[in-house]
Chain A
Amino acid sequence: MLHIINKSPLERSALDSCLRTAGGGAILLIEDAVYAATRGHAAAARIEEALARFAVYALTPDLAARGVADRLIDGVTPVDYGGFVELVAEHPASHSWL
């Protein structure tokens, strides 16, 4: 399962709910969710912990747009739009969290 999260973890509970329920798979952070994967963020420790169970990706254009591309946590893989498409194609199902 590919979990797609697009909301800031400080505003919405989607990331926490995903991490609480899903046993593994892949997580793609897009839009405001990319802040979660930046060094020193309040959610960063949860992302680092999640790396043991999940492959974690963050969308580069969204990181760049927010000026945080240089703060990406080690272990989180940056992907461009083509990478986004590949992730969706290689997983049998996607869950876009609201």
Chain B
Amino acid sequence: MSNVKKFVFVNRKAPYGTIYALEALEVVLITAAFDQDVSLVFMDDGVYQLKRGQQTQAIENKNFSPVYRALEGYDVEKLYVEREALAARALTEDDLLVPVTVLSSAELGALIDSQDVVLSF
């Protein structure tokens, strides 16, 4: 019985200014628990979710960035980052806390087009 769909989660928000990034992670983990094919896209301010060295004690928020490193344990290994979004924020792949695939805007668009379900956060 194959009921596997391709889900892509499009992350476009920075991590602590709104609840979207954390909520996306929750849904990603739920989707993975149902053995679905999960991909994560990080574009616009969403790339800040993967920035190394987040220290949230002083803003009294939970630092959920280690969860991105744990995704591998849930078979969530397809993380895609928009090259233009990194460049616009003076970030490189070395600034990110997990291994990712860096794609151009057009490549990212094609990837999203190939999915069965698109959820935006």
Interface on A for B, CB 8 Å cutoff? 1, 13-14, 17, 20-23, 25, 92-98
**Is B92 interfacial (CB-CB < 8 Å)?**
no
Count A/B pairs, Cβ under 8 Å. Answer: 47
Q: Which residue of A lies closest to B85 (CB)?
A: A17
Question: How would residues 9 to 25 of chain B score, 1 for a CB under 8 Å from any chain A CB and 0 otherwise?
Answer: 01011000000100000
Instruction: Point out the residue from A20, A92, A93, A95 that lies within 8 Å of B10, measured CB to CB.
Output: A95
**Which residues of the other chain, A, contact B10 by a CB distance below 8 angstroms?**
95, 97
Which of B63-71, B93-101, B105-113 lies at the interface with chain A? Answer: B105-113
**Is B118 touching A17 in the complex (CB atoms < 8 A)?**
no
Contact of A1 among B20, B44, B112, B121 (CB under 8 A): B112
B109 pairs with A98, CB closer than 8 A: no
A17 lies within 8 A of B113 (CB): no
With A93-B115, A98-B20: A22-B120 Cβ-Cβ less than 8 Å: no
The answer to whether B12 touches A17, judged by C-beta atoms less than 8 angstroms apart, is: yes
Please tell me if the beta carbons of A21 and B82 are within 8 angstroms of each other in the complex: yes
Name the A residues within 8 Å of B115 (CB-CB).
93
Q: CB-nearest residue of chain A relative to B43? A: A17
Evaluate whether A21 and B12 lie within 8 angstroms (CB atoms) in the complex, with A96-B120, A98-B20 already known: no
CB A12 to nearest CB in B, in angstroms, measures: 9
A22→B44 contact, CB < 8 A: no
CA distance A6 to B16 in the complex (A): 23
Chain A residues positioned under 8 Å from B105 (CB to CB): 20-21
Tell whether A21 pairs with B121 under 8 Å between CB atoms, given A93-B115, A98-B12. no
